[in-house]
Amino acid sequence: MERKYTINEVAQMFQITTNKIRFYEKKNILHPQRDMENNYRYFTEDDIIKLQAVLVYRMMNIPIEQVKDMMVHYERENIINHFHSQWKYINDEIHRLQLIQNCLEGMMDTVYDCPALLGDSLPEQLLPFAQNMNNLYQIKNSWKDRWNFDDWATSYDVSVKNNIGRLGIYKNYERILDTVFDQSIKDKAPHSKILEIGVGTGNLAKRYLTSAFEFIGIDQSREMLNVAKQKFPNLRLRIGEFLKIPYPNNYFDIIVSTYAFHHLTDEEKEIAVAEMVRVLRKDGRIVLGDLMFENALKKEELYSTLTQDELSEMEDEYYSNIDMLKDISNRFSMNLSFIKIDRLTYIVCIE
């Protein structure tokens, strides 16, 4: 016969209050049965397993309504969707708290070192730290997918194959991906940890699948990740953005990205490079295959050869200026080298 538990027994089992269990009953998450003989409510083994899941999800800070949805719609796709949402939420929080911690660090040193504080309640000497924190927070959280990659996901590979657009940016697509792959792993030890940012439908990622490398792909578009996962079920994929990489410091040996970096403005690119350097190990390497100009002069020269339609297509994206990337890399004591693929596409290696 199936074992039955009273509410007190369940509370004791999980070291929680009976009120907490009643709260989940009220929320319609737990449904204990009533014993007809003594009219007490009792919990079955199934209820216990359910409660265990609820407590784990709550500990992971998943909102109660989402937990309820996970219990009611216990399907793989729904569960993974909730996990993705929570992963994103937790990562945003980590980045927000990290900014606060950095700000506090600077403020504390300043207060310790200042014989007298200027101004009223917020000492003047501390303002730059607050402004820096606020500025970074705004930039990191203002990026929007105005290209609508979720909608593009299922037809993206066809677009690439047909080399869509007036500029023909996908003309050398396979060659770019091959070169990024080769450059990224050159002289690197097997089992190196690799991060791809803007993994899209997994076309670059698949090149790492047959190797011994530990690969993780991130993308801001859930639909892109779904397509990539359908094509390559063994890929390890997560929601993530250039400006808030969801991994700790010094975590990867190699970072790669193709056709994604040009969705960031120059200001965002600076933060993205800082983010990549943050998660990169010492002696790590960043390889970006993307739409770029060598410098402002070369950009002018190219612009003068383009039609109005081509120019307007180009202005929908933010091509990188390699000279600017060089300056940013130098600030992190890293060197930049590049390979020109065609008039619009380059491969940049920062190490």
- The residue within the footprint of ligand SAM, chosen from 200, 227, 277, 345 (CB under 6 A), is 200
> Does residue 180 bind ligand SAM (CB under 6 A)?
no
Binding map of ligand SAM across residues 316-345, x = CB under 6 A, - = no contact: ------------------------------
156 near 200, Cβ under 8 Å?
yes
215 near 140, Cβ under 8 Å?
no
Q: How far, in Å, CA of 145 to CA of 167, rounded?
A: 21
- Name the phi and psi angles at 41, rounded to 5: -85, 145
The helix (run of H) or strand (run of E) holding residue 217 is strand 214-219
> Does residue 217 bind ligand SAM (CB under 6 A)?
no
Which three-class secondary structure state does DSSP give residue 114? coil
Count the neighbouring beta carbons within 10 Å of the beta carbon of residue 267. 11
The helix (run of H) or strand (run of E) holding residue 140 is helix 127-142
CB of 197 to ligand SAM, least distance (A): 6
> Does residue 184 bind ligand SAM (CB under 6 A)?
no
- What residues contact 192, with CB distance under 8 A and at least 6 apart? 185, 213, 214, 253, 254
- The residue within the footprint of ligand SAM, chosen from 213, 242, 252, 293 (CB under 6 A), is 242
> Does residue 228 bind ligand SAM (CB under 6 A)?
no
Name the one residue in this structure whose structure tokens are 């402002």.
296
Q: In the complex with ligand SAM, which residue's Cβ is closer, 224 or 254?
A: 224
Binding map of ligand SAM across residues 149-168, x = CB under 6 A, - = no contact: x-------------------
Part of the chain binding ligand SAM (CB under 6 A), chosen from 11-19, 24-32, 259-267, 294-302 = 259-267
The separation between CA 213 and the C-alpha centre of its own chain, rounded to angstroms, equals: 20
Q: In the complex with ligand SAM, which residue's Cβ is closer, 43 or 345?
A: 345
CB of 320 to ligand SAM, least distance (A): 13
> Does residue 220 bind ligand SAM (CB under 6 A)?
yes
User: What's the residue count for the chain?
Assistant: 351
Number of residue whose CB is nearest ligand SAM: 200
Under the rule (CB under 6 A), what is the footprint of ligand SAM?
Answer: 143, 149, 197-200, 203-204, 219-221, 224, 241-242, 258-260, 263-264
